[in-house]
Structure 1
């Protein structure tokens, strides 16, 4: 067994471009770690060689040829979110290989955007109040007016999921093993995602993503965090729509219906997709925190966000997408020996921005709320920049599990995890007062205790 592994490593060194996938295949195993969802670890996964032109090189591997990327957007996003995404996250994908669904047929340079609602009968679209924006967008385009300010187009988003599934299978018919669905505010670490897919069984019906647990309903994959379907899973969901035409005089046309669901009763299309899968006998395999619904500045760094690899991040603004892509691209080029992106690395990305005390900043501390630090001693809103801040800081120091604090008006909240947060501005009209955030030396100690992955 030893000599066989030695020969395997010899070939890996010779064929450097294949090393990541091969090393990822060794010693891979799926574990639960006490979580109510799936996860995995792989010792050898934590080290692989970077290849020339590292960011796009993964798309030259065989696994990339087995994956179809599907990007969901809307007409109002085209000239900010979509354009940034196409020049960063999806820049390595040839325009002819990237399938983009929107709510308006149009061409953006070499990219074709497909109207997810094209096949839905006009009578149904006209009868739904949510489709008022859809008709307005088409009218604006016909008169060469911009649709960027039509933000109510977000109401259309939930109607895209099921038609996308049918049209992907019956109209586009790509013969791929895997289908990755993402959005314009999704950041994808392609190397990590593709190496992981190389371990999965593409012959099984698999529906995978970041799990969300709505009460009394099917667990669903959060759409913005990205989700993955195997080919059998896509075939299953696409075929589930045909029975709704049986016994009728209507001809089956992909993308013309919502599988019998009244979407006005649902908040989200990803939730409806999970219900359609569940009624077809397929449940979600939830892989978290690898598929992640946070941006770098809102990740809760702690015991479950350190040595885990990152597949996706979500809610990134165009500016954040560009900044993080530039940082990640530079990271890949720094050295020939490169490990996959872990949450530990994202912590290093935001670490320098975590200050001891920061005014007009919300670090999203929300685990413990304190109305006063000692009995009978309430926070004084008139001296909040002095004594009250120190009282809140003292409360954090006194709490063993606290790493950060936030004082907003007269409310002091503590955090058991580490987050960067975001800027906020005084809201005098609401009477909540300004916001001050801070941390303590326990952050540095915690980082040292984690060590390197």
Structure 2
């Protein structure tokens, strides 16, 4: 009765519309059930990409207008090719935010991984496909074969989260990345090689590279050391000029197989890359701190560990281990620059990111580790840390391990100490000669607990005494 009264009181045109929508819904449900099996099957099928043959001319993405003001801010910008090295188990975690922000200015970047894929409009190349077959038969490539199998059966690649086998495979990528970059993007002035979690400050990089002749064989990087030999740390970014690429990748058909064998014997692929460049007479030009292996929270400011180092008036070009929030924050900083032809300096990064986060009501913070590690004091009988010179040791320094308060007192007394941290379980007191922000470290179940402090009077005095009167486009050479 109620239902019939409701129908009689409802306008006829509304009833007709409702009936039409109901019939349309039934039709859609029928079509969906008919095709759902085919749809499910198609979703798990891997993409069939054309093999990356060196002789093929790659299809260039059409350059799209971008609102990113950095891209055309530097007159006569160098002609650069950007190459990103990543892994199939991490590509979705690290790369999308980079392509949406920091790498918007990169024209058709090359993406190399251990599996051929697509990422939106971007083609991802299998950089290991040309590794020597005898090397591929080794256990190092078990993970590579597992990746192919996961893709073949439509399994979630993120489940392969064990980093150890991926790291073992990574050292084979560098030589083939170099060769494929030259084949797929020949003739550029500069080749900028980045990791998926390396952020590059675009305008700074363009202003820097403008100062060099790309026809000269250059190999730039932040120096790391292995076997007492310097090589460019891959995570900080490696930059190679056209002149160096031409010199290294000349008529040498055994180039790749020879270095595949070396990669199998060594630990670090970026070290193997250095050996290949060195063989052809191209040596490293070290550019720490302009190229950086640190992320925002661990970046040094002010004095360095060595007395001839200072992190302040140099432009910052790259950072490593950046999180998605780091990437977003750095991109916003670049967008906010009024004059993009003025480089962003270490001092700017300090004022923008670190200074506002330092404690204002006190000079210390509970459950915080500020990466003080330049001098370490431990209880007697413990394995020695990294002490200050014995000639500078005072009774206060000798007792610095006993409590947080004594650690703080020792730092205040020591002329080079800018900040300190104390770990209560092991009674370890540590000093830093730079100022660094650090990160929150909640107490652990075994009793490990940190507390950190900054000597703001010293820090502010150091800043006042070191105004940037000129830019310092130079690198340090002392970091063994």
Shorter chain as denominator, the TM-score bin is 0.7 to 0.9
Shift of 1:243: 4.1
Aligned pair in 2 of structure 1 residues 259, 146: CA closer, same or farther (>3 Å)? same
**What is the aligned partner in structure 1 of residue 91 from structure 2?**
78
Whether 1:279 aligns to 2:279 is yes
Shift, 1:271, TM fit? 0.3
CA separation of 1:213 and 1:379: change in aligned 2, threshold 3 A: closer
* Superposed displacement of residue 439, structure 1: 0.8
**1:405 and 2:420 are equivalent in the alignment:** yes
Change (3 A) 1:375 1:346: closer
Question: Alignment partner for residue 140 of structure 1, among 134, 138, 150?
Answer: 150
Secondary structure, counterpart of 1:54 in structure 2: coil
2:441 aligns with one of 424, 430, 434: 424
Deviation at 1:350, TM superposition (A): 1.3
* 1:365-376 equivalent positions in 2, closer than 5 A: 365-371=372-378, 374=396
Corresponding residue for residue 131 of structure 2: 120
**1:105-155 deviation per Cα after TM superposition (whole angstroms, max 9, x unaligned):** 111110000000122355531x22121111111111111111123233222
Q: Give the secondary structure class of the aligned counterpart of 2:240.
A: strand
Q: Does 1:307 align with 2:313?
A: yes
Listed one character per residue, the Cα deviations across residues 314-351 of structure 1 (whole Å, up to 9, x for unaligned) are 1212232222222332x22xx35862100001111211
Match of 1:229 among 233, 236, 240: 240
Gaps in structure 2 of 5+ consecutive residues: 1-66, 304-309, 380-394, 470-480
How many matched pairs?
A: 372
- 8 A Cα contact 1:226 1:291, kept in partner: yes
Q: State the Cα deviation string for residues 169-199 of structure 1 (Å, max 9, x = none).
A: 2x31422111111111111111111122111
The counterpart of 2:346, out of the listed 332, 339, 343, is 343
Offset at residue 405 of structure 1 (A): 0.9
Contact 2:132 2:260 in 1 (8 A): no
TM-score by length of 2: 0.72
How has the CA–CA distance of structure 1 residues 375 and 164 changed in structure 2, closer, same or farther, with 3 Å as cutoff?
closer
Q: Relative to structure 2, which stretch is displaced further, 363-372 or 73-82?
A: 363-372
State how 1:145-164 maps to structure 2 within 5 Å.
Answer: 145-150=155-160, 151=163, 152-164=165-177
1:46-61, aligned counterparts within 5 Å?
A: 54-58=69-73, 61=75
Tell me what 1:98 maps to.
Answer: 109
- CA offset at residue 278 of structure 1? 1.3
Structure 2 residue aligned with 1:32: none
Name 2:290's counterpart in structure 1: 290
- Residues 74/260 of structure 1: CA separation in 2 closer, same or farther (3 Å cut): closer
In the alignment, what sits opposite 1:442? 458
Distance in 1, Cα, partners of 2:150 & 2:442: 35
CA distance in 2, matches of 1:215, 1:228: 22
1:6 maps to what in 2?
none
CA distance in 2, matches of 1:235, 1:213: 26
Task: Give SS of 1:213's match.
Answer: strand
| Superposition TM-score, scaled by structure 1 size | 0.76
Distance change >3 Å, CA 296–CA 339, structure 1 → 2: same
RMSD, matched Cα? 2.3
Deviations 1:365-390 (A, max 9, x none): 1222234764986756xxxxxxx222
